[in-house]
Chain A
């Protein structure tokens, strides 16, 4: 990693993984911009980062829905400088059962986790100076690796994002644009508040942030975090369909 302080934008700056990652950047003296919807929460996170030695600004913005993303990227770049690195950290788990009947909820899950993210990344790419290195990292999910009955709407959104990032990376292979697909398993955050926690499969936001940090530094294409999810998901992807269909996972 270069010694020059990096300008890092975090879309979804109130997420626990985002904050854990931002703390690492703050400790390096990085310049951070936290973008999100709740101003008080963003400010609480920014104060924490400032106390840790970083410079953190906040921008209150609804990242989802019909925002004019091209204009927003232009405005933020003018105000804070175009970033060296963008981490997209927002998302919602949604409720599968509800989404099956409530199409508006299904649309929300797909928009928040996939469409809106893809559009932000396109807006950033359109605006970037090809001569300057840029890292685009987005938090997907192991749930995107294979459609499963219990959460395939969320899984499809994260899977769609995964294909999008894969294609974006392919289109820019060999250039100064680095695209990182982050695939966490179970992370102990507010998003998973309704789930039973504990056990070896659960990771802390800081553990995930450490893995993201390493993956950004070595310009990895994909990072499963913690590492064992790569092998768990390999097995799940390779399960023959008749067997897979009998599993209630």
Chain B
């Protein structure tokens, strides 16, 4: 396999590094490539994680996106086995016309199956469906020892659990076998309700058991009494409307926006318009694409944060501490006037993932983007991380670029077991930062 020297950046565009990149075209090339590499290697999918879980600076990256074949499908049972580089976008294109959907989906469909499993992604239906790891039946894993292992709940069970949410460190994920979810229609019934504050959010979320998918958008610049105001959105799959597949991105952001574009004034204006968009209030029927993947409509939206890039903070906090912790986090962002268009708040359910280092915990999760303004932004991120740690919560490695080793180890006490099961020839910049 040929190697090329490429600069690779992650989605936040703050972290970038040169890598020796190889692109295996067939599964049989993967194990051989790992065995041959003299430097630590890491699998790379679509590079949609925000920080450094997908980077391995100065070392090797194996870009898995050419490994995008279906291996076996059973449209009776909805069980699909596919190579790890298949994107959720491509899987949906095949599965939706057959009446099947992803059992769990993150907010973008431009991620690979392997990346989704390695980060044990969750979605708007976490309360009922858990993470994607709850729906993985089997994983093919290449180890640098030359072994190719099949992992299930019962065979190689320890590695199975360590690989789900294992940040790609246990070996190279070759393929994934997933149970899909039956759907009758590609359309979703959506209800959008205004929320006046955090208490209102928690009440509404608890009252939405009939709705499989829930999420809230919060105006992060609202302070005082208005703290936590925003919109609550809930959806459920419909039985009618047909099985139409999604299209491509509608617009692209091919150029970087100037950094001054995002300031508290523009964010305030956006939030004002968003909160008062009367055209989406109440009940509506929408296609799955705008419901699950609103940002996928804008290709390369990460460039809108300008040349310096942005950070994302996403935390999970346990149920009892959640209201207080979320309030503290929103006060912090409000006080720093560091605006973010996209503040997402949602409850996390109690369904446990088999994943050893799975991020979600029963409680709530808050996610927000912060444009990179250098030191003040890092200070805010550190303060937020401290608030999360105090509440017994943790940050999402897929989104993180700044947390300390200490914060990571407190949030993920099982990290030593993952380190013990890590393939000796695999490493990432994230793991160097928090575990080395």
Q: Which residues of A contact B (CB under 8 A)?
A: 14, 16, 19, 40-41, 44-45, 47-48, 51-52, 188-190, 193-198, 200
Contacts and interface: CB of A to CB of B under 8 A. Distances in A.
B4 A193 contact: yes
Contact of A44 (B2, B5, B26, B73): B26
A47 B23 contact: no
Given A16-B25, A16-B66, A52-B94, A194 B72 contact: no
A82 B27 CA distance: 32
Nearest to A47: B71
A165 to B, nearest CB: 26
B4 A196 contact: yes
Given A40-B28, A45-B69, A51 B2 contact: no
B372 interface: no
Nearest to B2: A193
Given A47-B70, A47-B71, A190-B23, 6 more contacts: A16-B25, A41-B28, A45-B69, A51-B72, A190-B2, A190-B25
Contacts of A188: 23
B251 to A, nearest CB: 16
B23 A44 contact: no
A68 B73 CA distance: 38
Contacts of B27: 44
Contact of A195 (B1, B4, B22, B28): B4
Contact of A197 (B6, B26, B28): B6
B3 interface: yes
A44 B72 CA distance: 10
B26 A41 contact: yes
20 contacts: A14-B25, A16-B25, A16-B66, A44-B27, A44-B71, A45-B69, A48-B69, A48-B70, A48-B71, A51-B71, A51-B73, A52-B70, A52-B94, A189-B66, A190-B2, A194-B3, A195-B4, A196-B4, A197-B6, A200-B254
A190 B4 CA distance: 11
B25 A196 contact: no
Contacts of B72: 47, 51
Nearest to B93: A27
A193 B6 contact: no
Contacts, number: 54
B71 A196 contact: no
Contacts of B69: 19, 44-45, 47-48
B268 to A, nearest CB: 35
B6 A51 contact: no
Given A51-B94, A197-B6, A190 B71 contact: no
A190 B6 contact: no
Interface of B: 1-6, 22-23, 25-28, 66, 69-73, 94, 254
Nearest to B71: A47
B6 A198 contact: yes
Nearest to A190: B25
A190 B66 contact: yes
B94 A193 contact: no
Contacts of B5: 196
A189 B63 CA distance: 11
Contacts of B4: 193-197
A189 B73 CA distance: 25
Contacts of B26: 14, 40-41, 44
Contact of A51 (B3, B28, B70): B70
Given A40-B28, A41-B26, A44-B26, A193 B73 contact: no
Contacts of B2: 190, 193-194
Q: Which of A19, A41, A189, A193 has the largest number of chain B CB atoms within 10 A?
A: A193
Contacts of B66: 16, 189-190
A52 B27 CA distance: 19
Nearest to A15: B25
Contacts of B73: 51
B71 A193 contact: no
Contacts of A189: 25, 66
A89 to B, nearest CB: 13
A74 B173 CA distance: 42
4 closest A-B pairs (Cβ-Cβ)? A51-B70, A48-B69, A193-B2, A190-B25
Contacts of A19: 69
A77 to B, nearest CB: 28
B34 to A, nearest CB: 16
A92 to B, nearest CB: 12
A44 B175 CA distance: 12
A63 B3 CA distance: 26
Nearest to A93: B2
A92 B4 CA distance: 17
B86 to A, nearest CB: 9
A196 B19 CA distance: 11
Contacts of B70: 47-48, 51-52
Contacts of B3: 193-194
A47 B68 CA distance: 12
Nearest to B26: A41
B1 A193 contact: yes
Contacts of B71: 44, 47-48, 51
B47 to A, nearest CB: 11
Contacts of A197: 4, 6
Q: Which of A41, A47, A48 has the most CB of B within 10 A?
A: A48
A197 B23 CA distance: 11
A180 to B, nearest CB: 25
Contacts of A195: 4
Contact of B22 (A45, A48, A193): A193
A193 B23 CA distance: 7
A198 B28 CA distance: 26
B177 to A, nearest CB: 13
A104 B3 CA distance: 24
Nearest to B69: A48
Most A C-beta atoms less than 10 A away, residue of B6, B69, B254: B69
Contacts of B23: 188, 190, 193
